[in-house]
């Protein structure tokens, strides 16, 4: 995956449970769904998130956390987006999921390992 590069950013987003699994949609893509005291209706969910989800939206939860993925610069190719409570956690998740287990780390892995040392002074697992 040497052509893939890590992306980690802090943002507001919705995690949306759908008939095809969980979708992550940043607020800057879909806008903010009007808050309500009750749960959102299926019609509200479909109207707001329908064009951004593969399946039918069943429920949604708004978060402010770190999103992460690997992406191919200049292309639309990317891994699924995950979320984490801290930048360190996001880095560890990327390294655990996509890191090279044998030999020398790829350039992106070495950069993330260095950033992890800067953040919390530990070595990645």
Written as tens digits, the pLDDT of the chain (125 aa) is 568 899 999 999 999 999 999 999 999 999 999 887 788 999 999 999 999 999 999 999 999 999 999 999 888 899 999 999 999 999 999 999 998 877 788 899 999 999 999 998 755 45
- The angle formed by the CA atoms of residues 20, 79 and 16, to the nearest 5 degrees, is 35
Whole-angstrom distance, CA of residue 114 vs CA of residue 125? 13
Does residue 115 fall inside a structural domain? yes
Conformational region of residue 97, where left means phi above 0, alpha means psi within -120 to 50, and beta covers everything else? alpha
Does residue 55 fall inside a structural domain? yes
Q: How many domains does the chain have?
A: 1
Does residue 125 fall inside a structural domain? no
3-state secondary structure of 51: helix
Handedness of CA 41, 46, 52, 55 (dihedral sign): positive
Does residue 57 fall inside a structural domain? yes
| Spatial contact of 70 and 59, defined as CB atoms under 8 Å apart | no
Query: The domain containing residue 77 runs over which residues?
Result: 5-120
Does residue 12 fall inside a structural domain? yes
Q: Structure pTM?
A: 0.85
């Amino acid at each position: 995956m040497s052509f893939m590069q890590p992306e980690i950013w802090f943002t507001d987003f919705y995690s949306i449970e759908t008939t095809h699994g969980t979708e992550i949609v940043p607020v800057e893509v879909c806008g903010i769904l009007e808050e309500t005291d009750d749960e959102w209706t299926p019609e509200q969910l479909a109207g707001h998130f329908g064009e951004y989800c593969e399946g039918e939206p069943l429920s949604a939860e708004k978060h402010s956390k770190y999103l992460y993925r690997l992406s191919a610069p200049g292309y639309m190719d990317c891994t699924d987006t995950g979320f984490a409570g801290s930048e360190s956690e996001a880095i560890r998740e990327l390294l655990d999921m996509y890191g090279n287990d044998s030999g020398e780390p790829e350039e992106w892995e070495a950069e993330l390992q260095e950033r992890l040392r800067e953040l919390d002074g530990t070595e990645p697992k």
